[in-house]
Amino acid sequence: MSAPTKKVSRLLLSVAVPILLAHGVSAQENCPETTGLQDYINCRLGAEDLSEEEAAAEELAAAGQEDADKVANADSLGGSKLDLAKRFFTLLNLGDLKEEPTGITFSFNPELFPDLPLHFNPRVVVHEPELYETLVTEIDREGGPIAEGMRADLKDRLKKSFGDFDDTELRVVGSWRHLSRTEGAAVMAESIFEASGFETTSFNFLAEKLPTWMAVNPDLQAMTPLNTLEDGLRAQVKSDIDSFADQAAREVEALHQSLENNRFYALGMLVANDPQVSFDGFYRLREGAAGPNEWGGTARYEYGLVSYAQYLRWAGRAGRGGKSVETLNTYLARPSVQHWFKRQPRVAALLEVSRIDPFTLDRPEDGLSMKLDSIRRLTGKLTYGQVLASNPGSKFDFEARYDDFSDDLTKKNRFVATATWTQKLTDRLAQAAGGTQLVVSAIWANKPEFRGEVDRGFGMRAGLKWALDGDEQENDQGENGE
Amino acid sequence: MAAPFIRKVAMAAAPSSKRSMEASVAKSAPLIKTTLIVASSGPDDSRFKDTELTPGPARRNLVPSNSYVLGWVVAFGATGTARLKVRIIFADGTTQDQNLSVQGNLGDPPAQRVVLIP
């Protein structure tokens, strides 16, 4: 095998159609009448249903001191350590709590550190512990240490040994922001917002209707469910809320248009394009059969070629104050700015590192012993993306990355380059295709991903990828490897 | 299910005993702008600006015999979240809190939410 042929070139072409990615905030027609009147109205305005964690928070707020006493006395609560943690977190109003079948996320309030240029968002994720995948493979291995008849029992016993916090992840997401610069932009945004005006006819209409509803039912409260009202009042309330929702939708659309015309969103885009550093770090602590500890992090530097910082520099050179909306309009009207503003070019550099600690598990009573070395992975990435000016619904992205997987016995170190074209579909096409955008990617790599010697390789892939209600599916038309 | 929990936080005191309200907003980005419109069944309409609400609290008295609709409007000059906390204070000193939160992307149409004070 000659040296040049050890280098494998590969081209992958993939066609993907992810759909239903955006739901927008449009008004809802089918809102449950079992929730409180206020929640029903908010649902008609486009709010999502009250989540279970919000409901739990409301429950705790209602229970008040009585519950606080129970929390202080763990025995009387009779719950697990995790239940206690949840109640403390909610009672102390430390942030948001999200429960999912795979675990619970405690997101601490970002306002905990308001004056720091570094914007933190710390989280603790308590995962539902699962058996470590490599361990399961070893247990199920034909000819392995565990007899076939004993495997299910062993896995069952290992699972039952898990505690509440045997798979806990600490995560910090953050970004660096230029405080004084952002504050200047916020002052300008405030003046644009105030000048945009907002009709409040719909809210006044609802305020006038409230006493008429209460004249029929004096006990009416904000949280009275709509379906508990007597038929005549229920019909009247629904009709009034329908009229309110229609008017509110017109008013918010007028405000949206006014903000657009007054460059509110353009200003936001300039600020979003300012140079920024963001990071995402995690440390995952696992116990016993849940697997080894793992840590990692991503640091990212990115900026847009048309930014608020550039606008301020231009305003300074032109001898104008950067806080004037008129100056902003003049800047955005410049041909060169318009040229790039339409395209929204964006550059990013990213460094990603992770390490899985060594893993040891000895269960001589079951004849099972496992020892795995640590694995470190390092990836460096450069990206460039922009909208295609001739077609605003079309976007081009390029990514070049190097993966250093020296510790990983299954993967190779390699360069990978990816060019992606994304086309937003028209409503008609989206309906026919069952998706909202078409994604075409061409991928080149100097080596295959997994270890193994080959002479040469050329891979191709074409397929359809789609998602329905977040359930992504893929249908590859074919791929050939080396 | 959320509904049974929600019923527990219905007004602790008689609605007609309301005396004042406080409102405060927490945002994840300064370019998210909000305003709170206080629409009354009487002539005492008012409005709080973003700078009064953040961090707040903005305060005003309520006329016990009037009903109010608080209209909270959030404009997304940045991607992120905004949270509104409204506290209603009753004559006997008891309070009732209402919390609302919205999330949106830069350029999304403004979000509207309502708090009813019958």
Residue A316 has pLDDT above 60, yes or no: yes
| Residue pairs between chains A and B whose CB atoms are closer than 8 Å | 177
Q: Can you list the pairs that A156-162 forms with residues at least 24 positions away whose Cβ atoms lie under 8 Å?
A: A158/A131, A158/A288, A158/A289, A159/A129, A159/A131, A159/A289, A161/A288, A161/A289, A162/A129, A162/A287, A162/A288, A162/A289, A162/A290
- CA dihedral (A397, A398, A402, A408) positive or negative: positive
Residue A24 has pLDDT above 80, yes or no: no
pLDDT, residue A117, reads 62
User: What CA–CA distance (Å, rounded) separates A213 from A55?
Assistant: 26
- Residues A97-114 have a mean pLDDT of 76
Residue A466 has pLDDT above 50, yes or no: no
Per-residue pLDDT of chain B (118 residues; tens, 9 = 90+): 333 333 333 344 455 677 899 999 988 888 999 999 999 999 999 999 999 998 879 999 999 889 999 999 999 999 888 999 999 998 888 888 888 888 899 999 999 999 999 8
Residues 6+ apart with CB under 8 A from A308: A181, A185, A267, A270, A271, A273, A274
pLDDT digit string (tens) for A51-92? 444 444 444 444 433 343 333 333 333 357 788 888 888 777
Say yes or no for a CB contact (<8 Å) between A183 and B30. Answer: yes
Burial A118-131 (b: 16+ CB within 10 A, else e): ebebbbbbbbebbb
More confident residue, A12 or A359: A359
pLDDT digit string (tens) for A141-183? 888 888 888 889 999 999 888 888 899 999 988 877 666 677 8
User: What CA–CA distance (Å, rounded) separates B101 from B5?
Assistant: 18
**pLDDT bracket for residue A14 (50, 70, 90):** very low
Residue A49 has pLDDT above 60, yes or no: no
Choose among B7, B11, B30: nearest Cβ to A182: B30
Three-class secondary structure of residue A313 per DSSP: helix
pLDDT, residue A478, reads 36
Q: What percent of chain A has pLDDT over 70?
A: 78
Residues present in chain A in total? 482
User: What CA–CA distance (Å, rounded) separates A241 from A28?
Assistant: 12
Which residue of A187, A221, A233, A251 to mutate against B (max B Cβ within 10 Å)?
A: A221
Consecutive H or E run containing B103: strand B95-104
DSSP string computed for B59-97: EEE--TTS-EEEEEEEEESSSEEEEEEEEEEETTS-EEE
Half-sphere exposure at residue A419, Cβ-oriented, CA atoms within 13 angstroms: 4
DSSP string computed for A400-452: EEEEE-TT-TTB--EEEEEEEEEEEPPHHHHHHHTSSEEEEEEEEESS-SB--
Q: Is A63 in the B-facing interface, judged by CB distances under 8 Å?
A: yes
* CA end-to-end span of chain B: 25
- Residues A95-119 have a mean pLDDT of 74
Consecutive H or E run containing A301: strand A294-304
- Residues A119-123 have a mean pLDDT of 78
pLDDT, residue B9, reads 37
pLDDT, residue B35, reads 95
Q: What is the DSSP letter of A374?
A: -
pLDDT, residue A465, reads 43
Residue A473 has pLDDT above 80, yes or no: no
DSSP string computed for A274-300: S-EEEEEEEEEEE-GGG---EEEEEEE
**What residue ranges in A74-166 does DSSP mark as E strands?**
95-100, 103-108, 118-127
Residue A469 has pLDDT above 80, yes or no: no
User: What CA–CA distance (Å, rounded) separates A402 from A380?
Assistant: 5
More confident residue, A6 or A170: A170
pLDDT, residue A112, reads 55
- Residues A395-421 have a mean pLDDT of 88
User: What CA–CA distance (Å, rounded) separates A207 from A232?
Assistant: 20
Say yes or no for a CB contact (<8 Å) between A185 and B68. Answer: no
pLDDT digit string (tens) for A370-379? 899 899 999 9
**pLDDT bracket for residue A386 (50, 70, 90):** very high
The lowest-confidence range among A14-18, A102-106, A407-411, A419-423 is A14-18
How many C-beta atoms lie closer than 10 Å to residue A107's C-beta? 18
pLDDT digit string (tens) for A255-298? 999 999 999 999 999 998 988 898 999 999 999 899 999 999 99
Q: What average pLDDT does chain A have? A: 78
pLDDT, residue A6, reads 40
Residue A4 has pLDDT above 80, yes or no: no
Residues 6+ apart with CB under 8 A from A365: none
Q: What percent of chain A has pLDDT over 90?
A: 26
pLDDT, residue A148, reads 86
Burial A421-460 (b: 16+ CB within 10 A, else e): ebbebeeeebeeeebbbbbebebebebbeeeeeeeebebe
More confident residue, B76 or A365: B76
**Chain B partners of A56 at a C-beta cutoff of 8 Å?**
5
pLDDT digit string (tens) for A293-312? 999 999 999 999 889 988 99
Q: Is A373 in the B-facing interface, judged by CB distances under 8 Å?
A: no
- CA dihedral (A105, A108, A110, A113) positive or negative: negative
Residues 2-41 of A with CB under 8 A from B: 24-25, 34-39, 41
Half-sphere exposure at residue A144, Cβ-oriented, CA atoms within 13 angstroms: 17
Half-sphere exposure at residue A3, Cβ-oriented, CA atoms within 13 angstroms: 0
